[in-house]
Amino acid sequence: MSEAAAHHDHHDHHPSGMMRWVTTTNHKDIGTMYLVFALIMFFIGGAMAMIIRLELFQPGMQFVEPQFFNSMTTMHALVMIFGVVMPAWTGLANWLIPIMIGAPDMALPRLNNWSFWILPFAFTLLLCTLFLPGGAPAGGWTMYPPLVLQTGAAFPFLIFAVHFMGVSSVAGAINIIATTFNMRAPGMSLMKLPLFVWTWIITAFLLIASMPVLAGAVTMLLTDKFFGTGFFSAAAGGDPVMFQHIFWFFGHPEVYILILPAFGIVSAILPTFCRKPLFGYSSMVYASALIVFLSFIVWAHHMFTVGMPLAGELFFMYTTILIAVPTGIKIFNWIGTMWRSSMTFETPMLFALAFLILFSIGGFTGLMLGVTPVDFQYHDTYFVVAHFHYVLVTGAVFAIFAGIYFWLPKWTGHIYDETLGKWHFWLSLVSVNVLFFPQHFLGLAGMPRRIPDYAVQFADFNMVSSLGAFVFGATQILFVVIVVKCVRGGEKASDQVWEGARGLEWTLSSPPAYHSFSTPPEPSTIEGGMR
């Protein structure tokens, strides 16, 4: 980089104090705010999970009323999905996409500021329902009518909170698409993009296609409740099951919104610590695209028990199990990357490897759940709970941890405490399996999900699961300690940080200047197909 350009990059005049964060249009600031927001929400949602596991520690009701328990399961899901995983992905996208593609910032910086600042308002709306008469929403995050229409004063808060979250994530998605299609450095062709950028573009299209559907569905709930329509009321000529179809038409793509960026992160970390290019780069891109196509035609597997015609059940079973093919391709490509490589096991790599195995377990149970006749047994049991927590906690959340550890030295300029990082990993790995693995057995043995109390034969596995939950929850405090410690100081990180790191972001200084790539990088520095 020329001296003039470097000088230009250091023009970081911006307001200081609180106003810096309120008015910022800088992708790094906004990325940081998204990640901090996600971390705060992670502990709020986690506290709700602790209440759930505390009540389920032993049979009988010891701590909370059933209605409050249902509020906890409902709010835990909404907070974790819309307040933790999605903002964390958008935060990572904000930080990484511009510096990965050699762009100076996001394409629409003011929209970027707005999409973040909607979120605190959305979650204030949602979380304040805990203090309203009638309590927080308790009808499940899936908001199935007619039950959700029995929600008290919290109902409109829920609907508008969901609307806000939708606006925020659609605006973020538009920004990411505009950035990657218009602001790539010369020489950064689409098939040279890091897979994290690829999976995020695909995610962004999913968001744009699916979030408005959710917005429509909840608006119909709103008019059913307050304006006398009967979209979902059989008595008024409507159909409660229609809501489920519309909801899951959003909901299944949403599943891939939550996991696709994780595929991108793992595809960045594995080659780095394997010191070997990613195996099958182009098949990774095509497999992601195929998963996305399939994700739009499998939605009814979430509702096999509603009583569909045989042909419908068969169609959704076939399309669902077909997803195992592109997902398998991804797993096999990662193994191909590991084969005959030269591995080291720093914390990001450990989390990425745990992701491979534990996400695969979630994939296997997903295949089992996709087999319609057997799903008639598994549906709405703890087997499902175990399945989606393997995919979302040991899948999405572990990938987020991996990504944070991986890029934290780049962002802060300091190496995090590797010993504490390893402690965080091993404690999380053991406790998360103690927490969720027994739930497979509970579900198979017949324990329904979303119940505050259970028959005594389920007592033992529930106690084991709760113990795992408490350790897993407490372990995450360690993560905050590590991050704060790293931000405040530590061993100076080199620009390259990791021996095997490849890609444009590693050519910048650690930490990068407030404005980076104000002049695009040399095309010769761009290597394609590495990760």
Partner 1 sequence: MTFSIDTERCRKLAMAGSIWLMPSITLADWEFNLPRGVTPYSNTIYDLHMLVTGICVVIAVLVFGTMFYAMFAFRKSKGAEAVQWHESTTVETVWTIVPFIILVCIAIPATRALIMMEDVSGADMTIKITGYQWKWQYEYVDDGISFFSTITRDANVARQLGSGIDPTTIDHYLLDVDKRLVVPVGKKVRYLTTAADVIHAWWVPALGWKRDAIPGFINESWALIEEPGVYRGQCAELCGKDHGFMPIVVEAVSEEDYAKWVQEMQAAQADAGQSWKAAATAVAQREQERDTRI
Residue 411 or 436 having the CB closest to partner 1? 436
Instruction: Tally Cβ neighbours within 10 Å of residue 328.
Output: 14
Find the catalytic residue in 53, 389, 410, 449. Answer: 449
Q: To the nearest whole angstrom, how small is the minimum distance from the Cβ of residue 96 to partner 1?
A: 22
d(CA 217, CA 215): 5
Nearest 10 degrees: Cα torsion 247, 253, 254, 260 = 170
Answer yes or no: 375 catalytic: no
Those residues whose C-beta lies under 8 Å from the C-beta of residue 229, and which sit 6 or more positions away, are 220, 223, 236, 238
CA angle 134, 139, 140 (to 5 degrees): 130
Q: Binding string to partner 1 for residues 418 to 457, with x set by CB under 8 A, is what?
A: --------------------x-xx--xxx-x-xxxxxxxx
Those residues whose C-beta lies under 8 Å from the C-beta of residue 293, and which sit 6 or more positions away, are none
Answer yes or no: 301 catalytic: yes
> Of these, 269, 274, 285, 508, which contacts partner 1 (CB under 8 A)?
274
Instruction: Tally Cβ neighbours within 10 Å of residue 57.
Output: 18
- Identify any residues that bridge with 448 across adjacent strands, giving them in sequence order: 381
Find the catalytic residue in 184, 276, 302, 387. Answer: 302
Q: To the nearest whole angstrom, how small is the minimum distance from the Cβ of residue 332 to partner 1?
A: 4
> Of these, 219, 229, 233, 509, which contacts partner 1 (CB under 8 A)?
233
Answer yes or no: 506 catalytic: no
Does residue 361 bind partner 1 (CB under 8 A)? Answer: yes
Answer yes or no: 7 catalytic: no
Does residue 338 bind partner 1 (CB under 8 A)? Answer: yes
- Identify any residues that bridge with 143 across adjacent strands, giving them in sequence order: none
Q: To the nearest whole angstrom, how small is the minimum distance from the Cβ of residue 324 to partner 1?
A: 6
Answer yes or no: 13 catalytic: no
| Segment contacting partner 1 by CB under 8 A, of 24-32, 53-61, 90-98, 167-175 | 53-61
Does residue 279 bind partner 1 (CB under 8 A)? Answer: yes
Answer yes or no: 288 catalytic: no
Q: DSSP letters along 4-29, please?
A: HHHHHHT------THHHHHH---HHH
- The dihedral built from the CA positions of residue 136, 449, 400 and 368, taken in this order, carries a sign that is negative
Residue 299, CA distances (Å) to 105, 201, 244, 302, 505 in order: 36, 21, 9, 6, 37
Instruction: Tally Cβ neighbours within 10 Å of residue 402.
Output: 26
> Of these, 109, 490, 528, 529, which contacts partner 1 (CB under 8 A)?
529
Answer yes or no: 169 catalytic: yes
Find the catalytic residue in 9, 55, 224, 254. Answer: 254
Those residues whose C-beta lies under 8 Å from the C-beta of residue 42, and which sit 6 or more positions away, are 80, 84, 476
Does residue 495 bind partner 1 (CB under 8 A)? Answer: no
Residue 279 or 398 having the CB closest to partner 1? 279
Does residue 331 bind partner 1 (CB under 8 A)? Answer: yes
Q: To the nearest whole angstrom, how small is the minimum distance from the Cβ of residue 142 to partner 1?
A: 8
Q: Binding string to partner 1 for residues 144 to 163, with x set by CB under 8 A, is what?
A: x-xx--x-------------
Start-to-end Cα distance in the chain: 24
Question: Which residues form the catalytic set?
Answer: 76, 105, 141, 168-169, 252, 254, 256, 267, 301-302, 327, 330, 449
